[in-house]
Copies of this chain bind each other. A is one copy, B any other.
């Protein structure tokens, strides 16, 4: 089963991503990848000189997939709030398709060894934050969100909701419908952003 290198490389990356979900990103061996594909271990090294090169490629692949999801043109119309919901739910759908994503993004395989790679990932996450923050700012300007809402922190709350939901979903047996639960939590969070300022003090 001979394949052109580009195909084989893609196959190796996809296999690594798939295994990362079940085994854990840091525990995958080149032998496992080779076995899953149906080639010998040495073949893996023909296409990726170092094992770390696989993860570097995976990282750029994942960041591009994420950017795709964030910048999709379909999310251009509608209110800012609707677009915010669109971006968040789209990201959740991406995670549902690729459950290893959160685990890979925080793995030492990517963060521990390789400094430029770490920067790439941090920049990607930063972009996500900026995107959400911009939508929140827009929603405030449109009067949908309270005008004393700190957009920066609010964006972190949204991202936190996504991340922790994904983690819970991953550690639990994936029994729930990730997107459905996310939709519910997002509604609660957005309701809090929408509401008028708190009436008074409580202490």
Contact = CB atoms under 8 A, between A and B. Distances in A.
Contact of A81 (B150, B194, B202): B202
- Taking chain A's interface residues, is the majority helix, strand, or loop, or is none over half, making it mixed? helix
A23 B112 CA distance: 8
Interface of A: 23-24, 26-27, 78-79, 81-82, 106, 108, 111-112, 118, 122, 142, 144, 146, 149-150, 153-154, 156-157, 159-161, 163-165, 167-168, 171-172, 184-185, 188-189, 191-199, 202-203
Given A24-B112, A163-B164, 20 more contacts: A23-B108, A24-B108, A26-B27, A26-B108, A27-B108, A27-B112, A78-B203, A79-B202, A122-B172, A153-B184, A156-B168, A157-B185, A159-B164, A160-B185, A164-B164, A189-B192, A191-B197, A195-B195, A195-B197, A195-B199
Copies of this chain, complex-wide, total 2
A19 B191 CA distance: 42
Given A108-B26, A159-B164, A167-B106, A154 B202 contact: no
A164 B160 contact: yes
Nearest to A27: B108
